[in-house]
Homo-oligomer: A and B are copies of this chain.
């Protein structure tokens, strides 16, 4: 679900980092810093993108920059704050296109842009965002997402809930897809191979006839997709259902019949 990391410290310090504002005038005496916030964030992003959050240790980031591990603590209070800045930074990659026309097209765009972002930076899926770092890109993202559902008859509360619903949906769908992709890599087995390795033992142990629906549906799905889980299809199916559901609410709001 989440790493525990999030900048737990002083809001002033965190916000200064996120918006790249120096709170104090630069010190007159002493050596100039050899690194910068941006350099460290870039190095950390490179590692997280390539090898995952688990591989992004302070030592590894420092190595990447040819520095000692403790040096990073001159720039960030801790790993949590580094992660906060990484998050705000990649949110900056969102094109944030505002699609003209219907709200549904706009909300669809929100879902797809978020999906692309998660696929490009799968470590995002591990970052808790219930109290997001209030950097420029986090703010702009929320504003853009609200724009998609503004002026279509929803209340403010419904607007917020709808945006959260779409975000949550995309998060879950991509998590499932990425999990499936990673497990193939790690295990060196496709889903079909994995299944075939289990069936004979399962058959010997349990009464497979007790699960007739699972057997029927599992077989059909397996044949259709050559895998128990086809992520592309699942994403499209789920998004269509979700937007249909929102559609019903919007229709109800614009033409209430009771």
- List residues of chain A with CB under 8 Å of any chain B CB: 1-2, 4, 6, 8, 11-12, 15-16, 19, 21, 54, 122, 125-126, 128-131, 134, 136, 139-140, 142-143, 146-147, 150, 155-162, 164-165, 168-169, 171-173, 175-176, 178-180, 183, 186-187, 191, 194, 197-198, 201-202, 205-206, 210-214, 216-218, 220-221, 224-225, 229, 233-234, 237-238, 240-249
Contacts and interface: CB of A to CB of B under 8 A. Distances in A.
**SS class, residues of chain A in contact with chain B:** helix
B1 A183 contact: no
A220 B157 contact: yes
A66 to B, nearest CB: 29
Contact of A213 (B16, B143, B221): B143
A244 B75 CA distance: 50
Contacts of A134: 198, 202
A93 to B, nearest CB: 19
